[in-house]
Structure 1
Amino acid sequence: MRIVRGATCVEENSTEEITKKTQELFSEILRRNNLSNRDILGIIFTMTKDLTKVFPSMVVRENFELSHTPLLDLEHKFVEGAMDKCIRVMVFVDTDKDLEPVYLHRAKSLREDIFGGRK
């Protein structure tokens, strides 16, 4: 088993925006790592406390045929000055291969060690 991390940010707290960015993030994790939904053992999402309109796990469950996969949503710990409107994910994968983390949009700045602050 391996774990791949990812994150994205939304511009507004709306069902449409959270749904769109969650689908984009999960699609990119699958694409960049050559995974299928059958490879996924479980997923944990966190969201900053300013995102309240829809659960990312519900978006993934409904759009990626993961109805029998354990999914969990948590509120990310609030720290003053931390990035707002952010969705983070840990995907547990049945594989032995190396996995590429996926950070999109403003969330790339969370991992400057990987992305060098690129937008």
Structure 2
Amino acid sequence: MDWQVRAIRGAVTVPENTETAMADAVTELLSALESINQLDLSHVISATFSVTRDLDAVFPAAIARQRPGWDDIPLLDVQHMYVEGSLPQCIRVLLYVQLPARTAKVQHVYLREAQDLRPDLSIRTLGLV
């Protein structure tokens, strides 16, 4: 079987800068990415999380690492570049995944107010929820 490395994007917003709110958002985002893309976590190469400058209650990677199957995946947290007027309180993720070449398409996931970042990729627009 032929394999290829694919990148899958996702983003979610949080209502407040608390560990609980961020944990809920990261959990929701990763669950959606895993489910919609039917991910086998043994094929996830790495994940980079970025957060807007107004979020510092917890590292998203620390939340991800607590999920089953995520403790062996290389994870990185960074602060997203600030641009005046950009979406606040947002957590983004970029997953690198090895997938069978026959996998036609990956589904990027934008949840909550982050759907405004890519309305064309909203799971509601695409009829996935």
More helix by share: 1
Counterpart check, 1:108 vs 2:115: yes
Secondary structure in 2 aligned to 1:57? helix
CA distance in 2, matches of 1:54, 1:64: 19
Paired amino acid for 2:108: P
Selected match of 1:81 from 80, 85, 91: 85
Unaligned runs of 5+ in 2: none
Contact 2:110 2:121 in 1 (8 A): no
Q: How many residues align?
A: 117
Selected match of 1:99 from 82, 106, 109: 106
Match of 2:24 in 1: 20
Give the 5 Å matches for 1:30-49. 30-49=34-53
Largest Rg, 1 or 2:
2
CA distance in 1, matches of 2:68, 2:77: 16
Contact 2:19 2:57 in 1 (8 A): yes
RMSD: 1.4
Deviation, structure 1 residue 36: 2.4
Deviation, structure 1 residue 114: 3.0
Counterpart check, 1:62 vs 2:66: yes
Contact 2:42 2:69 in 1 (8 A): no
In the TM superposition, what whole-angstrom CA distance separates every residue of 1:80-118 from its partner, at most 9, and x where no partner exists?
000000000001111032210000000000013334x96
CA distance in 2, matches of 1:15, 1:22: 10
Give the TM-score, by structure 2 length: 0.86
